[in-house]
Amino acid sequence: MKSEEMFPREAELLRQGLQEWADEGSLPSERSQALESLVRQHMGAPAKEPKRSRVPARRRWLWSAAAAVAVAVITVPVAVPSARAWVVETFPALASFLGEQMEVEQGWAWAEEHGQFQEILASAEDQGYTFRVHRVLADPTQTTIIYSVEGPDAEAMGAQAPDFLADGGGIRFNGESFLSPSSGASRIIERVALSSSSGTHRVIDGVLVGSLEIAALPEESGTLEIDLRQIGDVKGDWPVSFAVTRAPLTALTRTIQVDQVLHVDGGDFRVTQLEVAPTQTAVHLRYEGTAPAPDLISGAVRLITPAGPIEPRGVTASTDFSQTGVTAADYVLDFQPVPEGTEEISLQVDDMVMPLTGQKLSLPFQVGAAAAVGDLPEVTVLEADDTKAVVSWSCASDADYEFWWVIDDRGEAYPAVASGRTDGAGNMQLDISWDPLPAERRPVALEARQVTQRVEGPWEVQIPLN
């Protein structure tokens, strides 16, 4: 329902009240006389004299210090309207995309309200396709790049977002690799790699518009270079480069150091830091334990404020590493921004999916064979042939079996892929498939090399924000 339909009385009050207020306006006499002079000078100059230009007629009256500033500001940014025409007038598809996203992304809506999107005018054309970067939203928690692609064949552009890593492409910041297939395993790169295609996109009226979310800029300001090499099925080279800064939003972001622990079997989660930006809230967690790092499902960790729950936006995790038998992992959980004035938040975790240390499942390769890990339900082979198998187990225990391999009669192992579904009777059915084995080899066993179990919480920590 439209706002004016929801609040008809208020809309009418505003309309009538403002119209009356405007009708009752009058100009001071000196301003009224100034306008009269302006009109007379423009229209009344004698024929024998050259017409004065518009500018001097007004400027003679306006030449005071304040007026000079006003003149300069009015006359200088002539190029701005045509440049800003990238946003809406020329790209209604972009306006549609932004409007849709802002219904969900409260951080974007805030940024729009407060002029915090950086307007970018960077583009590259190749193979008949034009890649444009329109806006960037950079805060201490992440960097969002809003782009569009136009070209002769919307289908070739595809329903998929451009692959910013394909074919040697990547992103550099201040000359340093920020996102590339060959980057080292730094935290930033790992986080970016995990979310390299994080973002969203749509094709609207033949224009592909989308957002790419990557890690926060490692420095406050600098130059971001994007080298895009593939758009859908189209290979080419679309390099763009532009200045960006996260300084304004850094100034508005509170970073709260936290040291609160959630104990789980085999390890501890430590909430280390909270970043409260007007565009997003980021919760930093570190896991250390003898058990492998758990899988924090997006949505499993809830952020609650006195005003209610805050919607999650996603989870990124660093690469696990083991040092002297201790596994450690870093997580960053992103949420929509918390309401202004929030003084305390609560982090609540209901469930975690915990890998069982050192456990694996080994199944004989024949229909009807069954095996179990500890007290977990049996896994049964339902179907088996040369390149695929179907196994099943009860969902009651919330166990899961991952990283499947097929073992041949010489003891060699080959990786398999698996996809699961429930059968409607409370059982998980997993379809496992693999490439044909070498000639004269036959499968003799299936192995799941990671066994996980959902562990119920709840766990909760309170974090003051001041």
Partner 1 sequence: MLDEEAFLSLLKQQEGRLYRIALAITGSDADAWDALQDAVEAALCNLHDLRGGEEAFPGWIKRIVVNRSINLLRSRRRNIPVDPSTGLEPSPDPLPLPQESIAAREIWGLVQELDPGQREVVALRYLGDLSLEEIAQRLELPLGTAKSRLHRALVRLREQVADEQRRIAP
Q: In the complex with partner 1, which residue's Cβ is closer, 98 or 371?
A: 98
Site string for partner 1, 95-134 (x = CB under 8 A): xx-xxx-xx-----x--xxxxx-x----------------
Would you count residue 15 as binding partner 1 (CB under 8 A)? Answer: yes
Given candidates 47, 73, 425, 439, which one binds partner 1 under the rule CB under 8 A? 73
Pairing of strands 312-317, 326-335: antiparallel
Would you count residue 45 as binding partner 1 (CB under 8 A)? Answer: no
- 415 with 434: CB under 8 angstroms? yes
Q: In the complex with partner 1, which residue's Cβ is closer, 20 or 49?
A: 20
DSSP H or E stretch at residue 42: helix 29-43
**By CB under 8 A, what part of segment 224-253 binds partner 1?**
248, 252
Q: In the complex with partner 1, which residue's Cβ is closer, 89 or 167?
A: 89
**Of 347, 316, 311, whose CA–CA distance to 103 is shortest?**
311
* Minimal distance, residue 405 CB to partner 1, in Å: 50
Contacts of 265 (CB under 8 A, 6+ apart): 291, 354, 455
Would you count residue 58 as binding partner 1 (CB under 8 A)? Answer: yes
* Minimal distance, residue 95 CB to partner 1, in Å: 5
- 92 with 150: CB under 8 angstroms? no
Site string for partner 1, 247-286 (x = CB under 8 A): -x---x-------------------------x--------
- 320 with 288: CB under 8 angstroms? no
Contacts of 276 (CB under 8 A, 6+ apart): 253, 254, 255, 256, 337, 338, 465
**By CB under 8 A, what part of segment 351-410 binds partner 1?**
none
- 379 with 370: CB under 8 angstroms? yes
Count of residues near partner 1 by CB under 8 A: 66
Token pair listed for 181: 């297939």
DSSP H or E stretch at residue 11: helix 8-23
Count of Cβ atoms closer than 10 Å to residue 324 Cβ: 4
Would you count residue 70 as binding partner 1 (CB under 8 A)? Answer: yes
Residues near partner 1, by CB under 8 A: 2-4, 6-7, 10-11, 13-28, 31-32, 34-36, 38-40, 42-44, 54, 57-58, 62, 66, 70, 73-74, 77, 80-81, 84, 87-89, 95-96, 98-100, 102-103, 109, 112-116, 118, 248, 252, 278
